[in-house]
Amino acid sequence: MAFRILLVEDEPVIRGLVETLLTTGDVQVECVSSGAEAIKRARENPFDLYLLDVVLPGLDGVSVLRMLRADPANAGKPVYMLSGRHKTADVDTAKRAGATGYIQKPFRGVELMELVDKHRGPKPA
């Protein structure tokens, strides 16, 4: 069974790059561009890992995070915030809302691949 990631990112270039980087035979990346769509997808079929942009149209990433944490099916899932915002207050807000981690843009591809490996566990033989 594939390790499933939901990437919530409104910037098409970043969405495409992350999807290409992380998708492998045993990792499936689904992409949405809004917070509302993220909540809909997460409620339909929870993912193994969530990558959320902080700034999204409509429902922002921190609000999505709070909703995921309030949902029993998603409450314990790892959720990482992706953001170009580098202020300590933004990081603190995300952590108080329940973020597993905060990844600042621009990020390195290896950083995301290591994060996936950490949560996915050993690769299937």
Q: Is the pLDDT of residue 18 over 90?
A: yes
Specify if 124 maps to a domain.
no
Specify if 83 maps to a domain.
yes
Any idea what the CATH number is for the domain that residue 14 is in?
3.40.50.2300
Weakest mean pLDDT among 41-45, 48-52, 87-91, 96-100: 87-91
Q: What is the span of the domain harbouring residue 71?
A: 3-118
What number of other Cβ atoms are within 10 A of residue 31's Cβ? 19
Q: What is the pLDDT of residue 31?
A: 98
User: Residue 30's Cα: distance from chain center in Å?
Assistant: 10
Q: What is the pLDDT of residue 87?
A: 86
Q: Give one DSSP letter per residue of the chain, joined into a string.
A: --EEEEEE-S-HHHHHHHHHHH-BTTEEEEEESSHHHHHHHHHHS--SEEEEESS-SSS-HHHHHHHHHHSTTTTTS-EEEEES---HHHHHHHHHTT-SEEEESS--HHHHHHHHHHHH-SPP-
Specify if 123 maps to a domain.
no
Specify if 22 maps to a domain.
yes
Specify if 59 maps to a domain.
yes
Q: What is the pLDDT of residue 123?
A: 65
> How many domains in the chain?
1
